[in-house]
Amino acid sequence: MSDTVLEVQALTKRFGGLVAVDGVSLEVRKGQIVGLIGINGAGKTTLMNCVNGIYRSDDGQVRLNNADITRKTPHEIALAGVGRTFQVPRTFRRMDLIDNLMVPLLHTDASDADLTARAEDGLRQVGLYELRHNHGEELSGGQQKLLELARVIMLDPELILLDEPFAGVNPSLCRIMLQQIEKLRDASKSFLLVSHDLTSIYRLSDHLYVLNQGEIIAEGLVEDVQNDPVVIEAYLGN
């Protein structure tokens, strides 16, 4: 059990009468990429928002490396080692790319020169170095997704939550994205990956959860879930 990074236990989140996440439990191990799939409105993003503290869950627990982080604020959770990207990329639009990547490093003791060097290096890795003096708002949608990933890497988290990382990203940028994710996995970072692009999620995931109407309806290895009749029904309707 010691290699469990994230453990979600019976998590529930309601909005008024709507139960968006209904008693969900899941687990992410060290160096694992865990996929979370489900149709629109299944509660994937809500679950992610609960894990990183943007939403306060109504019930249940979130544990990171066996420490309870359920009631912590987003920045505390970030510093505890959970990074995330957003479904619609949320770069700092009126800051240049170097400053964008420096934001997650501001709390460290490193010198300013060191911070700049690290940010520049981060931009090189995702191929955005040439644009380092541009503002966030001047990037294309796909570039913004890459910038978000680079920003998360700066935080050096143990667990990375990726919300639709491939949506609206052109193939060549997609390739960079995939490379980065695999590289991080090889450095034993863990991932919780939300997507409804099944091809990439099937390819990347070590373990898969299927969310439907706020509940987990199936889980397991990719091959098992792929052929599960319950999942097929949830996706295709009856």
Partner 1 sequence: MANVVTSSASSAGHWLRPDIVRQLIWYLLIVVLVFWCITAPSRDANLSLYFSFMMWITLASSLNFIAGFAGYMPFGFVAFYGLGAYGTGIAVKVLGLPIWLGVPCGAALGVAFALLVAPSLRLAGIYFAIVSLSLAIICQRVVALLPEWLTGGSLGINLGVVADREHGYYAMVLVLVGVLVTASWLARSRLGKALKAIRDDVEAADAMGIDVARSRLKAWLLAALFASLVGGVDAWFTGAFDTQTAFDVLVTAKTVIYAMAGGLGTALGPVVGAGVLVWVDDQIWRAFPVLNNFLLGLLIVVLILFAPRGIVGSLMQRFPRLRRYVM
Judged by the rule CB under 8 A, the positions of this chain that interact with partner 1 are: 52-54, 73-75, 78-79, 83-84, 86, 90-96, 99, 102-104, 106-107, 130-136, 138-140, 143, 151, 155
Shortest Å, Cβ 215 to partner 1: 26
User: Which of these, 56, 46, 53, 54, lies nearest to 24 by C-alpha position?
Assistant: 46
Cβ-based nearer residue to partner 1, 52 or 190: 52
Produce one character per residue of 58-90: b if its CB has 16 or more CB atoms within 10 Å, e if not: eebebbbbeeebbebeeeebbebbbbbbbbebe
Q: How far apart are CA 91 and CA 100, in angstroms?
A: 7
- Tokens at 108, concatenated: 């460290």
Shortest Å, Cβ 229 to partner 1: 37
Cβ-based nearer residue to partner 1, 118 or 151: 151
Shortest Å, Cβ 212 to partner 1: 26
User: Which of these, 94, 96, 95, 118, lies nearest to 105 by C-alpha position?
Assistant: 118
Shortest Å, Cβ 36 to partner 1: 18
Cβ-based nearer residue to partner 1, 80 or 198: 80
Cβ-based nearer residue to partner 1, 70 or 212: 70
- Tokens at 133, concatenated: 């003096």
